[in-house]
Amino acid sequence: MLPDVFIQEGPIQARDETTMTANTTTEQIRIFDTTLRDGEQSPGASMTLEEKLQIAEILDEMGVDIIEAGFPIASNGDFEAVSEIAKRSKNSVIAGLARAIHADIDRCGEAVKHAGKGRIHTFVSTSPIHLKFQMNKTEDQVLDIITDTVTRSRNLIDDVEWSAMDATRTPIDYLCRCVEAAIKCGATTINLPDTVGYATPDEYKAMFEQIRERVPDSDKAIFSVHCHDDLGLAVANSLAGVAGGARQIECTINGLGERAGNAALEEIVMAVRTRSDIMPYVTRIDPKFLVRASKMVSGASGFAVQYNKAIVGKNAFAHESGIHQDGMLKNAETYEIMRPEDVGVKATSLVMGKHSGRHAFRDKLKELGFDLGDNALQDAFRRFKDLADRKKHVYDEDIEALVEDEITILGESTKVIALTVIAGTGGPQKAILTMDVNGQHITKECTGDGPVDATFNAIKSIVPHEATLSLYQVHAVTEGTDAQAEVSVRLEAGGRIATGKGADTDTLVASARAYVSAMNKLALRQQTGNPGALQAV
């Protein structure tokens, strides 16, 4: 029998009747978010447990049907993250990834068993190039592996997804045999990924049509798309796959993922919603969460969202040219096909200042969707007051940056306490830094080739380490010379990568915080053995 989430086939009532006319033939598309698995596989995008839990919480709340929470066999850290997300999820199915190996499947089953609704997602390569060079197996051997591993997964759990890695470069006759074997052994979802982002929309649609037509009992499984963006076609291909009969879309927030990334969840959701006139589908996603989720994932991964990114980019609803502004003033629909508020964009508001009290601050955090415990609230309030003293206007974006920074700092064993930097043309630039290292305050003074270098040298002299700096990026949170700087720092050591973020009106303080945050993540990864990015799956 298919698990609950699958039995809503056929006509369903549209979720939002203001945008979806009473269309009785509307079908539901399941949104399978893999930000925490495929997204986290991007080199440098690895996240802490705390960050993963927060992202899973917002995905669950926004209506994601299936959350792929990680790859449990990859590390103890990944196992813990999947298990913990499984325990906490309220509505979403929690999936874990497993190679076609018994140990992977068993470990995955262990992790997802805590979920109200759990899924094992197992995969094997099917294309000739993967069989020859990666697996060194024949087609018949891979068919036996599919039978063996799907059966093993079904013995552990009812909800099993099977993926044909590199499906789009697999001859259709052989792909039909593989899919048939997986369905026969009880796979409830069949995913046919465009692993290398090679397909075009017409080809991808035709592949689903042929497989569904030719494979016996194909109607017993839900078909799924999973598209990579190497040619910039991931979203178009995903929608084409749906036109070919797929009813699950695998995607990630901000399109995070291996290489050029995956199909972006926010683009899929808004395309389906905005063009409901030609796409008779609905998703369960509440789009008001999209911008917040995007910011959260960008903060945790350290991957900035490009300004012109569809739906969630800073400029996605900005109008610069006189003609566009004139049109917008007369009727927003002249140049906007979606309303910014639909995706959670709020007009920047000047809301808080140095006279705002703790109560107003707590209410503001609630409005922005943050629910902090007493200690975190206390610290965030102290930093807000400090910010309001230094910055003329405190915007919602400032508070968001400050609180996200606070959440990152919470639980870190090493923290920045005080920093004084002497900079200017005279040189050498000097940094005097005090840090809290496991409860002990240590101060060091260092020079460097510029103030940032001096600051990082001071950190290195307090906490000696071998990590090398592979990214240093500064963004202004709002406009004006008193804007908070949001800094991303990526460190690499021994094949492990970690990205940290810091925010402050002082770019150097933000830089020090970001560096220390990346250092803490790297240290954690070294302790838990989390490789930060999956090696050859």
Q: By CB under 5 A, name the binding residues for Zn ion.
A: 38
Q: Quick one: how far is CA 499 from the chain centroid? A: 14
Does residue 193 belong to the site contacting ligand KIV (CB under 6 A)? Answer: yes
Binds 165: which of Zn ion, ligand KIV, none (CB < 5-8 Å by kind):
ligand KIV
Per the CB < 8 A criterion, the answer to whether 109 and 156 are in contact is yes
Amino acid identity at 480? G
Q: Which stretch binds ligand KIV (CB under 6 A): 188-196, 323-331, 491-499, 503-511?
A: 188-196
Taking the C-alpha atoms of residue 220 and residue 468, their distance in angstroms, rounded to an integer, is 51
Q: Give the tokens for residue 183.
A: 């369905």
The 10 Å CB-count burial string (b at 16+, else e) for 378-392 is eebbebbeebbeebe
Question: Based on CB atoms, which residue is closest to ligand KIV, 199 or 293?
Answer: 199
Does residue 38 belong to the site contacting ligand KIV (CB under 6 A)? Answer: yes
Q: Give the tokens for residue 384.
A: 């807000």
Per the CB < 8 A criterion, the answer to whether 259 and 197 are in contact is yes
Tell me the backbone φ, ψ of residue 144, rounded to 5 degrees: -65, -40
Residues in the chain, overall count: 537
Task: Please report how close the Cβ of residue 226 comes to Zn ion at its closest, in angstroms.
Answer: 6
Binds 295: which of Zn ion, ligand KIV, none (CB < 5-8 Å by kind):
none
Binding-site string for ligand KIV from residue 392 to residue 431, where x marks contact by CB under 6 A and - marks none: ----------------------------------------
Task: Please report how close the Cβ of residue 195 comes to ligand KIV at its closest, in angstroms.
Answer: 4
Task: Please report how close the Cβ of residue 38 comes to Zn ion at its closest, in angstroms.
Answer: 4
Question: Based on CB atoms, which residue is closest to Zn ion, 266 or 397?
Answer: 266
Task: Please report how close the Cβ of residue 190 comes to ligand KIV at its closest, in angstroms.
Answer: 11
Task: Please report how close the Cβ of residue 42 comes to ligand KIV at its closest, in angstroms.
Answer: 12
Does residue 163 belong to the site contacting ligand KIV (CB under 6 A)? Answer: yes
Exactly one of 54, 127, 149, 195 binds ligand KIV (CB under 6 A); that residue is: 195
Binds 224: which of Zn ion, ligand KIV, none (CB < 5-8 Å by kind):
none
Taking the C-alpha atoms of residue 337 and residue 328, their distance in angstroms, rounded to an integer, is 11
Does residue 237 belong to the site contacting ligand KIV (CB under 6 A)? Answer: no
Neighbours of 338 (CB within 10 A): 18
The verdict on whether residue 359 carries a ligand-binding annotation is: no
The verdict on whether residue 449 carries a ligand-binding annotation is: no
Question: Based on CB atoms, which residue is closest to Zn ion, 38 or 504?
Answer: 38
Question: Based on CB atoms, which residue is closest to ligand KIV, 174 or 335?
Answer: 174
Residue in 100, 148, 103, 142 with CA at minimum distance from that of residue 123: 100
Helices (H), 89-198: 102-112, 128-129, 139-156, 172-184
- Going by DSSP bridges, is the β-strand pair 414-422/394-395 parallel, antiparallel, or unpaired? unpaired
Residue with tokens 């029998």: 1
Residue with tokens 């200690």: 375
Exactly one of 152, 169, 226, 273 binds ligand KIV (CB under 6 A); that residue is: 226
Binds 513: which of Zn ion, ligand KIV, none (CB < 5-8 Å by kind):
none
Question: Based on CB atoms, which residue is closest to ligand KIV, 70 or 502?
Answer: 70
Does residue 165 belong to the site contacting ligand KIV (CB under 6 A)? Answer: yes
The verdict on whether residue 262 carries a ligand-binding annotation is: yes
Task: Please report how close the Cβ of residue 51 comes to ligand KIV at its closest, in angstroms.
Answer: 21
Question: Based on CB atoms, which residue is closest to ligand KIV, 249 or 510?
Answer: 249
Residue in 6, 89, 74, 5 with CA at minimum distance from that of residue 37: 74
Taking the C-alpha atoms of residue 537 and residue 533, their distance in angstroms, rounded to an integer, is 11
Is the bond preceding residue 428 a cis peptide, omega within 30 degrees? Answer: yes
Binds 180: which of ligand KIV, Zn ion, none (CB < 5-8 Å by kind):
none
Task: Please report how close the Cβ of residue 163 comes to Zn ion at its closest, in angstroms.
Answer: 9
Q: Give the tokens for residue 269.
A: 């959701």
Cα distance from N-terminal residue to C-terminal residue, the chain: 30
Question: Based on CB atoms, which residue is closest to ligand KIV, 265 or 352?
Answer: 265
Question: Based on CB atoms, which residue is closest to ligand KIV, 79 or 123?
Answer: 123
Question: Based on CB atoms, which residue is closest to ligand KIV, 190 or 435?
Answer: 190
Neighbours of 204 (CB within 10 A): 28
The verdict on whether residue 228 carries a ligand-binding annotation is: yes
- Going by DSSP bridges, is the β-strand pair 496-504/485-493 parallel, antiparallel, or unpaired? antiparallel
Question: Of all helices (H) and strands (E), which one includes residue 189?
Answer: strand 189-191
Binding-site string for ligand KIV from residue 108 to residue 147, where x marks contact by CB under 6 A and - marks none: ---------------x------------------------
Task: Please report how close the Cβ of residue 195 comes to Zn ion at its closest, in angstroms.
Answer: 6
Residue in 150, 117, 89, 108 with CA at minimum distance from that of residue 5: 117
Does residue 79 belong to the site contacting ligand KIV (CB under 6 A)? Answer: no
Q: Please count the CA atoms within 13 angstroms of the CA of 371 that sit on its side-chain side.
A: 3
Taking the C-alpha atoms of residue 338 and residue 317, their distance in angstroms, rounded to an integer, is 9
Task: Please report how close the Cβ of residue 125 comes to ligand KIV at its closest, in angstroms.
Answer: 8
Q: Which residues are annotated as a binding site for Mn(2+)?
A: 38, 226, 228, 262
Residues that bind ligand KIV (CB under 6 A): 38, 123, 163, 165, 191, 193, 195, 226, 228
Q: Which residues are annotated as a binding site?
A: 38, 226, 228, 262
